[in-house]
């Protein structure tokens, strides 16, 4: 088992776990290495009521490790892609997605960069982002916080931000809710009067100025920005022994 | 007496004509009817509109110059997130797209299957799905709530191509992995429906391999069935075989230059299915 003080990746995992804590009995659906580690950490510790998948079509009740072939699964449901839409459209999911671009209102792009006729960079496409963001709580994970990701304006709106949701009016936008944005540097949220992105906490060892410089728009920054919390000993044990025994999170976010 | 709907790969390819809308089953790089896709790449057909939860089916057809438009929500190789040939085709402007959310895609197929012009959904509101497809309309609820929703139009297919693990000669099909994807809907949304299978078996065999609900494709949904052992290669077709990751990397490398593609094409596309299977086995 790894020992030593908590790493940056482990701080990220705890911050991600905090995104799902308090959600209640919903499908926590983190996408990406550290999101999965953080989501399973929440289920393993403070939020056992969370329902989670094996990353594919099964709902599993035990905490399975990441990056391990054929882990033992306590299967408690069949959730093929078609059933996932039932979950999403009925409002019982919290997804954490990635983003190639994100603006201050939380508009997200991972479809393509440039023009529709001939994109400069073709990325994933719309995937499920329009449906996720208009139906359920959505959070984001950005493993490398840079001004290339946090941009003044996204090229394509795949995930709906607060300004667009507001323009839809109170009926059409009533299920839209963005949670937090966790990055390798900090935690961001939209808990401002006009839902502009705010710096919620900086990870230990990160200066506020560093985040501001790596963000291509003006963040809401309060006077005393708290530090993100360290994971507890119990959480470290879960991460290092049970959830991420191979240290894949450390590869996604290397310790500075 | 069970009808005999067995056809050949080339007979299926000949059903697809210039300008048609073709739906392809599977999801990403999983259980794709690749033997049929390879045959389409060899055929003279062009200007196709491809409707797919996209994987290498889309990339190959784009690279082979068969595609006018891709109706998609993603095109991915799963273990390699971005499909290299699709990216090249998009970035050179050689194919246009209809940008859809994964769920709108399902509703479009369902609407076509149910023969209704559209299905209402909240999905798409506020996003650029509407901006890139100006033909998309919204609809207002006729009830007291008056809510405005997206009217996802029916995605009517001329031809559907799917791949199942087992089938019988009548065109009944069975999947043995955990996810049926949307293959039944693809068939129900299409005028002509063709299914390749790993193995054609006696109908009595189905329940020995899986429960009744694994017989997802009934014979109302198909016009032809063709046995193509290993026919989803190089995509995943568990439990029969996993994705061929080494081959998928070679496929990805073939997007690096025209020379690399020519070599790939000569070796793996411009050959018979039997020769292809011989080459990839060795």
Instruction: Give the pLDDT of residue A1.
Output: 64
**CA B265 to chain centroid:** 20
ipTM strictly over 0.85? yes
Structure tokens at A227: 């530090």
Q: How confident is the model at residue B213 (pLDDT cuts 50, 70, 90)?
A: very high
Return the half-sphere exposure (C-beta side, CA atoms, 13 A cut-off) of residue B100: 26
Q: For the segment A193-233, what is each residue's pLDDT rounded down to a tens digit?
A: 999 999 999 999 999 999 999 999 999 999 999 999 999 99
pTM: 0.97
Surface-to-core class of residue A112, CB atoms within 10 Å of its CB (0-12 exposed, 13-18 middle, 19+ buried):
buried
Look over chain B and give the mean of its residue pLDDT values, rounded to a whole number.
98
CA angle in degrees (0–180, nearest 5) for B251-B256-B261:
60
In the CATH scheme, what is the code of domain A8-51+91-248? 3.40.1080.10
Find chain B residues with C-beta within 8 A of A156's C-beta.
128
Q: For the segment A10-68, what is each residue's pLDDT rounded down to a tens digit?
A: 999 999 999 999 999 999 999 999 999 999 999 999 999 999 999 999 999 999 999 99
CA-closest candidate to residue B70, choices B22, B6, B121, B8? B22
Structure tokens at B155: 């995605």
CATH class entry, domain B9-100+155-275: alpha beta
Q: For the segment B136-168, what is each residue's pLDDT rounded down to a tens digit?
A: 999 999 999 999 999 999 999 999 999 999 999
Provide the strand spans (E) within B214-280.
Answer: 224-227
Q: For the segment B223-274, what is each residue's pLDDT rounded down to a tens digit?
A: 999 999 999 999 999 999 999 999 999 999 999 999 999 999 999 999 999 9
Instruction: Give the pLDDT of residue A102.
Output: 98
Domain layout of chain B by residue ranges = 9-100+155-275, 117-153
Q: For the segment B32-84, what is each residue's pLDDT rounded down to a tens digit?
A: 999 999 999 999 999 999 999 999 999 999 999 999 999 999 999 999 999 99
| Alpha carbon distance B246, B253 (integer Å) | 11
Handedness of CA B21, B23, B28, B30 (dihedral sign): negative
CA A133 to chain B, closest CA, distance in angstroms equals 9
By Cβ distance, the residue of B93, B104, B123 closest to A117 is B93
Residue of B nearest to A133 (CA): B123
Q: Is residue A254 within 8 angstroms of chain B, CB to CB?
A: no
Domain layout of chain A by residue ranges = 8-51+91-248
Q: Helix, strand, or coil here: A68?
A: coil
CA B127 to chain A, closest CA, distance in angstroms equals 5
Q: How confident is the model at residue B282 (pLDDT cuts 50, 70, 90)?
A: confident
CA A170 to chain B, closest CA, distance in angstroms equals 11
Best mutation target among A75, A97, A131, A143 (most B Cβ atoms within 10 Å) is: A131
Q: Is residue A95 within 8 angstroms of chain B, CB to CB?
A: no
- Residue A203 CB contacts under 8 Å (≥ 6 apart), including other chains: A8, A11, A12, A15, A184, A185, A186, A187, A227, A228
Provide the strand spans (E) within B122-266.
Answer: 137-140, 148-153, 157-167, 173-174, 190-200, 224-227
| Alpha carbon distance B80, A254 (integer Å) | 22
Between the CA of residue A175 and those of A138, A178, B135, B272, what are the distances in Å? 11, 10, 26, 53
Look over chain A and give the mean of its residue pLDDT values, rounded to a whole number.
97
By Cβ distance, the residue of A119, A130, A158 closest to B90 is A119
By Cβ distance, the residue of A58, A89, A165 closest to B126 is A165
| Alpha carbon distance B33, B23 (integer Å) | 11
pLDDT at B115 over 80: yes
Find chain A residues with C-beta within 8 A of B74's C-beta.
124-127
Structure tokens at B96: 């246009």
| Alpha carbon distance B153, B139 (integer Å) | 11
Residue of B nearest to A167 (CA): B126
CA A231 to chain B, closest CA, distance in angstroms equals 31
């Amino acid at each position: 088992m790894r020992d030593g003080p908590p790493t940056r990746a482990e701080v990220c995992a705890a911050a991600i776990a905090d995104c799902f804590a308090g959600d209640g009995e919903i499908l926590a659906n983190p996408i990406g290495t550290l999101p999965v580690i953080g989501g399973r950490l929440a289920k393993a510790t403070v939020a056992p009521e969370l329902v989670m998948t094996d990353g594919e079509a099964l709902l599993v009740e035990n905490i399975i490790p990441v990056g391990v072939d054929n882990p033992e699964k306590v299967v408690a449901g069949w959730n093929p892609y078609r059933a996932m839409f039932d979950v999403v459209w009925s409002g019982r999911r919290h997804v954490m997605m990635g983003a190639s671009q994100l603006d201050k209102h939380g508009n997200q792009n991972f479809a393509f960069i440039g023009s529709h006729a001939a994109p400069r960079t073709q990325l994933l496409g719309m995937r499920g982002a329009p449906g996720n963001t208009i139906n359920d709580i959505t959070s984001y994970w950005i493993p490398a916080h840079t001004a290339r990701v946090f941009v003044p304006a996204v090229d394509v709106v795949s995930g709906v931000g607060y300004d667009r949701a507001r323009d839809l009016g109170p009926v059409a936008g009533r299920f839209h809710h963005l949670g937090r944005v966790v990055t390798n540097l900090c935690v961001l949220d939209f808990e401002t009067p006009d839902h502009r992105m705010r710096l919620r906490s900086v990870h230990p060892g990160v200066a506020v100025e560093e985040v501001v410089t790596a963000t291509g728009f003006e963040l809401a920054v309060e006077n005393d920005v708290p530090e993100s919390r360290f994971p507890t000993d119990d959480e470290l044990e879960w991460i290092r022994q049970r959830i991420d025994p191979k240290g894949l999170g450390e590869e996604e976010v290397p310790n500075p | 007496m069970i009808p005999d709907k067995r056809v050949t790969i080339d007979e299926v390819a000949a059903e697809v004509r210039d300008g048609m809308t073709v739906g392809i089953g599977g999801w990403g790089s999983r259980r794709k009817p690749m033997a049929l896709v390879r045959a389409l790449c060899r055929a003279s057909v062009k200007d196709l509109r491809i409707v797919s939860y996209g994987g290498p089916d889309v990339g190959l057809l784009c690279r082979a110059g068969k595609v006018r438009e891709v109706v998609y929500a993603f095109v991915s190789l799963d273990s390699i997130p971005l499909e290299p040939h699709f990216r090249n085709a998009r970035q050179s402007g050689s194919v246009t797209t209809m940008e859809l959310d994964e769920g709108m895609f399902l509703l479009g197929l369902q609407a076509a299957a149910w023969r209704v012009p559209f299905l209402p959904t909240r999905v798409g509101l506020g996003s650029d799905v509407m901006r890139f497809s100006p033909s998309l309309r919204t609809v207002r609820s006729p009830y007291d709530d008056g809510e405005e929703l997206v009217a996802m139009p029916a995605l009517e297919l001329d031809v559907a191509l799917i791949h199942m693990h087992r089938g019988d000669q009548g065109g009944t099909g069975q999947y043995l992995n955990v996810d049926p994807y949307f293959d039944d809907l693809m068939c129900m949304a299409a005028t002509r429906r063709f299914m390749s299978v790993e193995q054609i078996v006696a109908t009595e065999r189905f329940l020995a391999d899986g429960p009744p609900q694994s017989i997802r494709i009934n014979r109302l949904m198909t016009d032809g069935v063709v046995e193509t052992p290993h026919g989803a290669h190089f995509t995943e077709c568990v439990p029969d075989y996993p994705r061929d990751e080494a081959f998928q990397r070679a496929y990805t490398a073939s997007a690096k230059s025209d020379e690399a593609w020519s070599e790939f094409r000569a070796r793996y596309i411009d050959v018979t299915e039997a020769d292809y299977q011989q080459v990839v086995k060795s």
